[in-house]
Amino acid sequence: MVLGALIDSGVSPKEINDVIGSLGLSGVEISSEIAERGGVNGTRVSVQVDPENHIPQRIEDFIDLTMESDLPESVIKRSCAVFQRLADAEIKVHKGSDYHVGELGDLDTLVDVVGSVYGLEALGISRLYSSPIPSGSGLVNSKHGLLPVPAPATSILCAMVNAPVIAPPTGGGDVGEMVTPTGAAIITTLASFTQPTLNLESVGYGLGQRDSPNYPNVLALWVGEEKGTPYTSSLTLLETNIDDMSAELLGYVQERLFDLGALDVWFTPIQMKKNRPATMLSALVISSQESLATDLVLRETTSLGVRVRPIDRYEAQRQSVNFESSLGTVSVKIKSLGGSKVSVAPEYDYCRQLAVELGLPLIEVYRTIQEEATAHFIT
């Protein structure tokens, strides 16, 4: 349904199939069609898989395929964060680490997650917001037998970020499963549960496979530009002082926090008791990730406690787009204030690759692309 809403909003199905090809998968593709659910017309997406295709059995396989692809670094990072959240939820469901993708949809899950992350970037969506997640009701069949709705993995994913959940209307009978674990993982990882003020530009509708008589099985994607400079108050700053860990271990903690979805992670040299040189680890996270991030720091470091405090900040709008420069195709980040573009910054990884391929100094590549992109985008 997320893919359907993205395609209904303008993402080309061919682009998504190209993304699938970037993952090294053969015999896997999506198809889309215009259909109706209730009184709503939208796009329904199906995933076709060749039965002879090798199907990975663990979320780690999905992460490996994504990491080995040539997709943009931002797509790889955000997709792996969704997969990791699914893995964490499955571990909690099965009370241990011996789990398989199984009910998460096999290759459908890989396509849904990576395709959705790519689609959001293709539309230039820099921030995603979600209304409360509908719980559904009744029972759902699984390979392990009947499960309550919402499925245990879906419930845990919502609980992991304290997501708001709404019950279905009473008196209409059971409505069935309304949010799958994959859908819950995408939303709880990429979205925040606040209400922005938008200048609405378009609305896309993704249709579910089931045509329920009890409700229109539709996911709406509203695309627009936030009014003014967004003010974000749902952020949390985590800090802890460490004097007995190596740089390699601290670097690993930083990687894990970024994989979790931290907005920023940094280290500050400090002195602790007895004049010991030490390091203060700081991490800025969305408040819904506070519990997960704190648990990660306590598990992966020698710290016995983490300081936590709410943080407010103002944010400029940002958009990542591909730009055809004289040196090659690069991704650039456009900064906007009040709807007006004010600056352009080339992405480092693309500039580095071009510098190596062309045998040019990196600073020259960066300066050339920045000048050309600024002339192209800033009016």
pLDDT for residue 100 = 53
pLDDT of 96 over the 80 cut: no
pLDDT of 167 over the 90 cut: no
pLDDT for residue 336 = 83
Whether 293 and 342 map to the same domain: the answer is no
pLDDT of 14 over the 80 cut: yes
C-alpha span between 145 and 140 (Å, rounded)? 8
pLDDT per residue over 288-301, tens digit each? 788 889 999 999 99
Confidence of residue 102 (pLDDT cuts 50, 70, 90): very low
pLDDT per residue over 57-74, tens digit each? 678 889 999 999 999 888
Whether 252 and 119 map to the same domain: the answer is no
pLDDT for residue 374 = 94
Whether 290 and 353 map to the same domain: the answer is no
Whether 57 and 148 map to the same domain: the answer is yes
Q: Find the angle CA(61)-CA(65)-CA(68) to the nearest 5 degrees.
A: 135
pLDDT for residue 1 = 97
pTM check: above 0.75 = no
* Mean pLDDT, rounded, of the chain: 88
Residue whose C-alpha is closest to residue 170's, from 219, 215, 140, 220 = 215
Whether 178 and 260 map to the same domain: the answer is no
Confidence of residue 186 (pLDDT cuts 50, 70, 90): very high
pLDDT per residue over 217-231, tens digit each? 999 999 998 776 555
Mean pLDDT to the nearest integer, 266-286: 93
pLDDT per residue over 225-259, tens digit each? 877 655 565 789 999 999 999 999 999 999 999 98
pLDDT per residue over 305-346, tens digit each? 999 998 888 778 778 888 999 999 999 999 887 667 899 999
pLDDT of 357 over the 50 cut: yes
pLDDT for residue 103 = 46
Confidence of residue 24 (pLDDT cuts 50, 70, 90): confident
CB burial of 90-129 (b: ≥16 within 10 Å; e: otherwise) equals: bebbeeeeebebebbbbbbbbbbbbbbbbbbbbbebbbee
HSE (side-chain half, CA atoms, 13 Å) at 69: 26
Whether 184 and 55 map to the same domain: the answer is yes
Which of 195, 226, 257 is the C-terminal boundary of a domain?
226
Whether 149 and 183 map to the same domain: the answer is yes
Number of domains in the chain: 3
Its domain, for residue 348, covers 317-377
Whether 119 and 153 map to the same domain: the answer is yes
pLDDT of 155 over the 70 cut: yes
Q: Which residue has the higher pLDDT, 74 or 184?
A: 184
* Residue 168 · residue 137 · CB < 8 Å: yes
Whether 135 and 162 map to the same domain: the answer is yes
Which of 314, 331, 346 is the C-terminal boundary of a domain?
314
Whether 159 and 84 map to the same domain: the answer is yes
pLDDT per residue over 191-206, tens digit each? 988 778 788 999 999 9
Whether 92 and 66 map to the same domain: the answer is yes
Confidence of residue 353 (pLDDT cuts 50, 70, 90): very high
CATH number of the domain to which 295 belongs: 3.30.70.1380
Share of the chain above pLDDT 90, in %: 58
Among 135-144, 233-242, 365-374, which stretch is predicted with the lowest mean pLDDT? Answer: 135-144
pLDDT for residue 56 = 66
Which of 194, 209, 226 is the C-terminal boundary of a domain?
226
Whether 108 and 149 map to the same domain: the answer is yes
pLDDT per residue over 74-86, tens digit each? 899 899 999 989 9
